[in-house]
């Protein structure tokens, strides 16, 4: 790790194949920021356990997510890539931070409230504690910045609060991190219900584009995207479906919103949907190909994650020892 660079941390859950939302809101930025920062990217497998999962599937999805990170352009030679569960310090720091977190503030988190409704038969402590584990992820590495989509902003604010609370109580220890949220693409909406965010755990497959969808599927999903009946390609709060498609097109091409509006002025929705579908399909085709290639070389992926866990573990344990000392946990003197 280069010491003159600031540190960046981010993660995604292996809860399904990442969507176009995950890519445009987060992973695309991860790739772009690799030269500017010391980057650490984790696969948040412990977070995934807060919802019931098929164990075999969780294992497969975790490996697949690692392959996808690399296929999207995250370079294991530049950035540290690892599984959260391979570095026990994440769970250990969570315990310490739990002693500073209040049930009231955790119960107010939007994601907790949404997931409690969605999984009413399994509202477990982990679901409530989810943002504290996320705070531990970030604070262990002294991350200065955290690239995320809008939906994780509230969790980052809690992370900042916990860091400040700890620093005030036990003296300056944690870096208080800042979010990096993209100007376009920070909240990609569902293709079937543009009032809701695009999510990899949505039971309706037509609502999201997964990074492993083939060209035909991507185009079909865009053709079926829900839009209004006004037929004018204009970005506006009262046209959430078409505005979402304009956002997607702009985020993928790197053009701004008004450029996209101008380019398609006077064209019909049908034509625009096909253009968006083709543009997205072309952007993700290499990711799909590379992911499948990487998944056929499990030894390589295992090696990447082992190296990553060694590097991350070293950094995380340094922070954890400091924290244990500051809170007053006894450790025997080492013989010189
Ligand atoms: P996850 O797996 O839900 O999403 C990964 C990243 O993708 C962003 N994202 C979106 N961006 C735009 N539009 C969307 N529709 C969309 N859906 C998701 C998310 O904001 C996120 O940046 N709790 C996290 C994982 C995590 C983490 C962390 C993130 C664990 N520890 C520490 C940052 C730092 C999560 O479930 O992300």
**For residue 235, what is the domain's CATH number?**
1.10.240.10
What was the pLDDT predicted at 217? 98
How many folded domains does the chain comprise?
Answer: 2
Report how far residue 94's alpha carbon sits from residue 129's, in angstroms, rounded to the nearest whole number: 9
- In terms of domains, do 316 and 265 share one? no
Asked if residue 191 is part of any domain, the answer here is no
- In terms of domains, do 276 and 316 share one? no
Report how far residue 44's alpha carbon sits from residue 262's, in angstroms, rounded to the nearest whole number: 40
Question: Is residue 4 helix, strand or coil?
Answer: coil
Ligand 1 touching residue 180 (CB < 6 A): no
Report how far residue 115's alpha carbon sits from residue 180's, in angstroms, rounded to the nearest whole number: 24
Ligand 1 touching residue 44 (CB < 6 A): yes
Beta bridge partners, 189, equal: 197
When pLDDT is averaged across residues 281-300 and rounded to a whole number, the result is: 98
- In terms of domains, do 116 and 161 share one? yes
All residues at 6 or more sequence positions from 187 whose CB lies less than 8 Å from its CB, including other chains:
21, 25, 149, 150, 151, 197
Ligand 1 touching residue 225 (CB < 6 A): no
Q: Residues with catalytic annotation?
A: 115, 197, 200
What is the pLDDT confidence band of residue 2, given thresholds at 50, 70 and 90?
low
Asked if residue 190 is part of any domain, the answer here is no
Question: Is residue 169 helix, strand or coil?
Answer: helix
- In terms of domains, do 35 and 140 share one? yes
Residue 23 CA: which ligand 1 atom is closest? 7
Residue 151 CA: which ligand 1 atom is closest? 20
**Tens digits of per-residue pLDDT, 119-167?**
999 999 999 999 999 999 999 999 999 999 999 999 999 999 999 999 9
State in Å: Cα 67 to ligand 1 middle. 17
State in Å: Cα 39 to ligand 1 middle. 16
Whole-prediction pTM: 0.96
Ligand 1 touching residue 10 (CB < 6 A): yes
**Tens digits of per-residue pLDDT, 227-258?**
998 889 999 999 999 999 999 999 999 999 99
Which of 190, 187, 280, 269 is closest to 223 using CA atoms? 269
Asked if residue 118 is part of any domain, the answer here is yes
Asked if residue 13 is part of any domain, the answer here is yes
- In terms of domains, do 216 and 74 share one? no
- The CATH number of the domain holding residue 27 is 3.40.50.620
Q: To the nearest whole percent, how much of the chain has pLDDT over 70?
A: 99
Asked if residue 59 is part of any domain, the answer here is yes
Q: List Cα–Cα distances, 194 to 43, 105, 197, 223, 265, in angstroms.
A: 28, 29, 7, 14, 22
């Amino acid at each position: 790790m280069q010491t003159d660079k600031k540190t960046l941390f981010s993660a995604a859950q292996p809860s399904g194949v990442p969507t176009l939302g995950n890519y445009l809101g987060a992973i695309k930025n991860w790739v772009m920021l690799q030269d500017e920062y010391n980057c650490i990217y984790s696969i948040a497998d412990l977070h995934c356990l807060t919802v019931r999962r098929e164990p075999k599937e969780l294992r497969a999805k975790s490996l697949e997510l690692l392959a996808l990170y690399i296929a999207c352009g995250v370079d294991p030679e530049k950035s540290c890539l690892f599984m959260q569960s391979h570095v026990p310090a994440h769970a250990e720091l969570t315990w310490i931070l739990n002693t500073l977190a209040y049930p009231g503030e955790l119960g107010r988190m939007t994601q907790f409230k949404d997931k409690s409704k969605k999984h009413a038969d399994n509202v477990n402590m982990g679901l409530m504690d989810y943002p504290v584990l996320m705070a531990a992820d970030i604070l262990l590495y002294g991350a200065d910045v955290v690239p995320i989509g809008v939906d994780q902003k509230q969790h980052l604010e809690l992370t900042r609060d916990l860091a400040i609370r700890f620093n005030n109580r036990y003296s300056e220890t944690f870096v208080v991190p800042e979010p990096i949220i993209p100007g376009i693409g920070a909240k990609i909406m569902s293709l079937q219900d543009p009032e809701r965010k695009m999510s990899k755990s949505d039971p309706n497959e037509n609502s999201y584009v997964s990074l492993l969808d083939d060209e035909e599927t991507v185009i079909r999903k865009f053709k079926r995207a829900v839009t209004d009946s006004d037929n004018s390609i204009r970005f506006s709060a009262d046209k959430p479906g078409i505005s979402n498609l304009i956002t997607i097109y702009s985020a993928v091409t790197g053009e701004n919103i008004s450029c996209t509006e101008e380019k398609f002025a006077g064209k019909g929705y049908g034509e625009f949907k096909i253009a968006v579908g083709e543009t997205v399909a072309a952007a993700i085709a290499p990711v799909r190909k590379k992911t499948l290639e990487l998944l056929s070389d499990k030894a390589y992926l295992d090696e990447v994650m082992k190296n990553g866990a060694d590097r991350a573990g070293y950094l995380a344990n340094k922070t954890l020892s400091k924290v244990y000392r500051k809170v007053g946990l006894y450790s025997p003197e080492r013989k010189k």
